[in-house]
Amino acid sequence: MIKAIFHSEISNAEKLHDLFQVSYRIEAALLGATDFPPLNRSIIDFQNSNTQFYGFWKDDVLAAAVEIDQLKNTLKICSLVVHPNYFRQGIARKLLLFVEDYDDSETLVVETGWANAPAMALYEKFGFQETREYIGPGGIKKKCFSKLK
């Protein structure tokens, strides 16, 4: 089940932090990154975030989450993470379907590390097109994707 996560509440921020830590460790390994900025995000950072979080709950466990930011005519997927225990169960796909129907934004945008093949394959399967590459914080090479809704 997908539902909003009120991240300003400490218990929810802690759940998000734990999920992001375990998920982003996998991406950091895929990228060969020893300094991966998303892993530096604190519980307080989650509490104070201006973005919105939605979680996929399975058996009362936060199995995955998507973080979004509404910009003018664009919905930015800031993060989409799945706990490794729930990989390959279609959960990321369900969260992307949720995001596609979230609002009336004209465009969806997302980015990922250049070597995160599972994420890139998923976004391309959903019709996202690569728009650019850049080097982000920590020297991480990133790929950006966008899609008209």
- CATH code of the domain containing 83: 3.40.630.30
The pLDDT, as a whole number, for residue 27 is 92
Q: Which residues pair with 74 in a beta bridge?
A: 71, 107
The pLDDT, as a whole number, for residue 138 is 81
Rounded to two decimals, the pTM is 0.94
| pLDDT digit string (tens) for the chain, length 149 residues | 999 999 999 999 999 999 999 999 999 998 888 889 999 999 999 999 999 999 999 989 999 999 999 998 999 999 999 999 999 999 999 999 999 999 999 999 999 999 999 999 999 999 999 999 999 888 889 999 999 98
Q: Is 86 helix (H, G, I), strand (E, B) or coil?
A: helix
Q: Which domain holds residue 91?
A: 2-148
Residue 57: its H or E element: strand 52-58
CA distance 58 to 96: 17
**How many structural domains does the chain have?**
1
